[in-house]
Amino acid sequence: MPRLVQGSLVRGGLVRRGRAYFALQAAAGCLWWVAVFVSPEVRRATLGGLDPLVVAAFDIPLFVVASAAAAAGAGTAARTAGVVSAVWTIAVTAALAAYAASTAQAGAGVLAMGAATAGSAAALCLVLLGRIPTEWIVRGPFAFRPARSRRSPGLHVAGTFAQIIVFWGFFLGLVPPCLALVEQRWGLAVPFPPLAAPAGIAVLVLASALGIWSAAVMSTLGDGTPLPSVMPNRLVVAGPYRWIRNPMAVAGIVQGAAVGFILQSWLVVGYAVLGSLVWNYAVRPLEEADLAERFGDEFQQYRAAVRCWIPTTRGPYRMP
């Protein structure tokens, strides 16, 4: 089959998936509005003290009907309906988040609309572009570029640990406490088991040790750093990389979940899980495509022998 035809078929399939999502969203919106008017508990959890009639007057045409229109057709009108649905979903999520922060009500509604926002944005990309443009993630300062070769290993080590301070400080030190505070404010906190915090501390220490070990090996042996814009010039298959392909990513995700246990926040644990999904399905394919292009068969053999998330049980990998 010619590549152009094959690409067209793939794109058509992805467009249909986007339209299918909008159909599912329209059905879910209908069911949610029925539940709002039938169940006071659902109404309080998702709308707080807002008047459901006023909200429905805007939400049903701009969310439910627009989603159904985006699913039903393939022309300009359907694409416009998809844009309307996605933009409205984003606006409602922002407004509901502000309302929940000021009143401590409707926290469940914010979570539901936040999920709908992510789904609507992805579906809109599929409908308009026939794909999700994940390559936008690695543009600018996050574009894949090899480090300047033959620099002192000490400079790479220093740069790597500077990155660790910045990234850990932001993603582990700043974001999780803010999420935990929001969770409390929105009334979404659910009790953790009594030993959750001590277990979280132990796991955080172990995951951090794995991250530091991985970073040290990468910066001393790879002639580069883990940062995409200063990537290693050599394929590193040493230290923890002999058992698992992405130990730094594994360490970061486990760290996030551990911080969630320490802070007693399921929202932070969900943040770590969401980060793992974004990394696995959006960032990792781009990174591995770059590695395959730069290191060829050497990386292909390594990828075939060593798994991404689960350590190999066949013993440490050795370069052929």
Question: Residue 165 is encoded by which pair of tokens?
Answer: 């301070």
Q: Which domains does the chain have, with CATH numbers?
A: 3-132 (no CATH), 137-305 (1.20.120.1630)
Instruction: Specify the amino acid at residue 132.
Output: I
Question: Residue 234 is encoded by which pair of tokens?
Answer: 């050599």
Q: What is the pLDDT of residue 275?
A: 93
The dihedrals phi and psi of 146, each to the nearest 5 degrees, come to: -65, 150
Q: What is the pLDDT of residue 6?
A: 45
Report yes or no: 221 and 236 within 8 Å, Cβ to Cβ.
Answer: yes
Stated as kind and residue range, the H or E segment containing 152 is none
Q: What is the pLDDT of residue 139?
A: 76
pLDDT in tens, 93-143: 999 999 998 999 999 999 999 999 999 999 999 999 988 888 888 777 777
Report yes or no: 180 and 264 within 8 Å, Cβ to Cβ.
Answer: yes
Name residues of the chain where pLDDT drops below 50: 1, 3-7, 9
| Sequence-separated contacts (24+) of 19-22 with Cβ below 8 Å | 19/70, 19/71, 19/74, 19/78, 19/123, 19/127, 20/71, 21/71, 21/119, 21/120, 21/122, 21/123, 21/126, 22/67, 22/68, 22/70, 22/71, 22/82, 22/85, 22/120, 22/123, 22/127
pTM of the model: 0.87
Q: What is the pLDDT of residue 5?
A: 41
Q: What is the pLDDT of residue 149?
A: 66
Q: Strand pairing partners for 63? A: none
